[in-house]
Chains A and B, each alone.
Chain A
């Protein structure tokens, strides 16, 4: 009888070793720490981090602060708990320990995402990811929220091609794996006000690559019957600084997307659309 995940009987172990890359704050030096937990079947990385938090002691018995990490739904729809596990960026809730041990029975290695500033330990600041959605105006510009009757009729085919794009949970796996998406970490200057720091940070983000997720969202909203009215603005954003021309077609994004969103298809469509858009603008000058 098939049960949930077969406990790995062949490498039956008594303890799980977890190596965590820790960092006490932005700009601080990262360090490694080893934790050891008694083996239980059917754990995931979240339950391991919960056990580490409750125990707050390293493998050599030293009392330490619990590891900091972000999580939310624990069922891979919110995107919060993304981190790098055994070298691969993914959600820690769906990272099942028995599977990880099948691949590497010696230890589980947890690291923060690589393209975002570390706030503490495994928790990173993904503001840039959400800011990119503003850059491409990823919304439907309705007149207002009063009752104006239903939206346009849409074919089942259109729904079936848009729905996968609308499942993007802004987790950041795609940008973590993208060789063209470079980390931007802006340190606060002495005496800088909240507003001034925020402004300087966003300006730096504006200059960086928007990322595959934002390009795909631009396509989603360009497909919407009302969202389409901002198509020009979105294509302007994608043909400007940090736009689609940065993409080097490595195709890592689509390989790591936990929702299997056809990101490279979106990028190809956006590429064609921006080219046409630029030529059209050139003729209209």
Chain B
């Protein structure tokens, strides 16, 4: 076998898993990352990683139910074959991470301990304290370091990916990247390129994401012709600690371990929380969702918290919107053992001990369910065909997308503790696919035409030089434009979306985009110039911001995290059983008609002439589990479910 070389962009869980699996298969890897890979955003994941396990199995759980919970939680916008493959791989992924030395919490007898997470009734989530992402990332980082010392992987840390190199046949032949210290721009020829660059939270200014989650890498692929799917599906996490530089995540595991969300029944009750008696507290999630309680799926918890503050006026603080997340009823020792890491974050940043006093939290932008469109091959069993070169390949041949920057797994709403799984799974699973792709090619990294490489570098060098010197008279400041973009996106494209606001925001974002193209940099130097790196990232946020807004504007429905009150389906109102039954029938008719129209992936292609995305739609593979209404908490849910089940049975028999 001739030597293969693959460029992996991004050193979070997906990128590291991909790099080490490729190295194991004998492929040489150039690993390019904005930051030392050990500092990637995966470290911020707190709560855990899902899989069916021996205990849940004995309660009736299996991989199929993990698949079902995931697609039901995602409101059926997930592609089912990849989700099925992931669910069946999940126990194997956990076993591997255990073997790699992850310090998972243990039971008294020495088995892996599990906790419950949102959107399921089973305790599927393995965890390492409240720093599970950090622990998983370190285990993979260690393996990559091992391969690095054997010469199979070469890391390029503090390098910014600028663009894929696409030859005249449309095939990806490598990547162009820039050393963020010396500012050198260089071509990295490759047999294939894997983009594993995470989410785009910085498009919203402040989010739970790390500062480098700008989405610029995905955007650069998008502007080079890769399709982007379901951009509008942005998860807003229900519980974060508001801050002026960042909205810090407060893990769902706080609720998984028994944390209760409440507000005082009396608006802005001035008493300290611990002096408010039980009967004057409104545990609104528990009251409204008796089955799931505080562990309803994230989109629902987020909307309820938003609603209780914005519409009911019951925010704890008069000036700042927040609700209580209360752990004070749980013994300190247990809290320290299971949630120590996140409680320390709260204590450090807020100066209050959450073991003594309820935390004040509010929703924050957290995860991009959408991302680069990528292909897959369905197997006879309904999962993925192992080793098929098309698995996770974007529409640019030889360019792969995995991890948070792909779009298949989480539909319109991601379940907690499924993201770490999807990142590691896609990294490992795509190894053989990429190798097979490379084996099938007549030419590889060694014979990319030199003029293709030099042209790609020259183009990026020109962009760089133009930015440094291009706009001498302008007073446009990239940091201030970023603030404006973030404020706008947060206002119109998070929890509640309205068409008039979205349409208006698109016009404003167009203006901001034009202004961002004319920024004047306060640093025109040629050494470790963060100003120019940020300016490029900012400019590249706009194609994604426009795609999020346009996708949201066109999707006239409520699905998962995408919530438009103008298109919300009403609860049943009739008291009379016959009339109520008729309403349920109508409800189901409308549900089916809506799915005809909107149970589709939004597919965006970047149009360089209009500087806007062109939007088309693509069918979602729902062949394994037929879509059904998501009825958490709806009045009339029982009747609707009854009608729906009758129809489903009739269909199955017919």
List A residues at the B interface (Cβ < 8 Å).
1-2, 4-6, 24-25, 40, 42-44, 46-47, 50, 53-54, 56, 63-66, 68, 70-80, 93-94, 96, 119-120, 123, 125-126, 130, 133-134, 137-142, 144-145, 147-151, 153-156, 158-160, 162-163, 166-167, 169-170, 221, 224, 226-227
Contact = CB atoms under 8 A, between A and B. Distances in A.
Nearest to A45: B245
Interface in B523-568: 523, 525, 527-531
A5 B244 CA distance: 13
B141 to A, nearest CB: 9
Given A80-B35, A163-B128, A147 B527 contact: no
19 contacts: A4-B350, A4-B352, A46-B246, A50-B245, A53-B530, A65-B522, A72-B39, A72-B41, A73-B43, A74-B248, A75-B248, A77-B43, A78-B43, A120-B527, A125-B181, A134-B145, A142-B143, A150-B99, A151-B99
Contact of B244 (A42, A70, A141): A42
Contacts of A123: 528
B245 A74 contact: yes
Counting chain A CB atoms within 10 Å of each CB, which of B98, B352, B530 scores highest? B530
Interface string B102-144: 1111111111100000000000000011010011001100110
Given A72-B39, A72-B210, A167-B131, A139 B142 contact: yes
B249 interface: yes
B350 A76 contact: no
A80 B39 contact: yes
B569 interface: no
B100 A140 contact: yes
A155 B341 CA distance: 21
B502 to A, nearest CB: 28
A2 B272 contact: yes
B20 interface: yes
A244 B134 CA distance: 27
A80 B43 CA distance: 12
A145 B272 CA distance: 52
B528 A5 contact: no
Interface of B: 20-21, 24, 35-36, 38-41, 43-44, 92, 94-96, 98-112, 128-129, 131, 134-135, 138-139, 142-143, 145-146, 148-149, 181, 210-212, 243-246, 248-249, 270, 272, 337, 341, 345, 348-352, 357, 428, 477, 479-480, 522-523, 525, 527-531
Contact of B96 (A76, A94, A125, A147): A147
Nearest to A47: B245
A133 B148 CA distance: 12
A119 B20 contact: no
Given A56-B522, A170-B38, A226-B99, A72 B212 contact: yes
B215 to A, nearest CB: 16
Contacts of A153: 109-111
Contacts of A221: 101
Given A1-B272, A53-B531, 16 more contacts: A65-B522, A65-B523, A72-B212, A73-B210, A76-B345, A77-B134, A123-B528, A133-B142, A134-B148, A144-B24, A145-B21, A150-B94, A153-B109, A153-B111, A154-B106, A163-B103
Given A153-B110, A169-B38, A66 B522 contact: yes
Contact of B24 (A25, A137, A145, A166): A145
Nearest to A67: B530
Contacts of A125: 181
B96 A145 contact: yes
B479 A53 contact: yes
Contact of B350 (A5, A50, A54, A155): A5
A180 to B, nearest CB: 24
Contact of A142 (B99, B129, B212): B99
A178 B265 CA distance: 54
B142 A159 contact: no
A172 B589 CA distance: 62
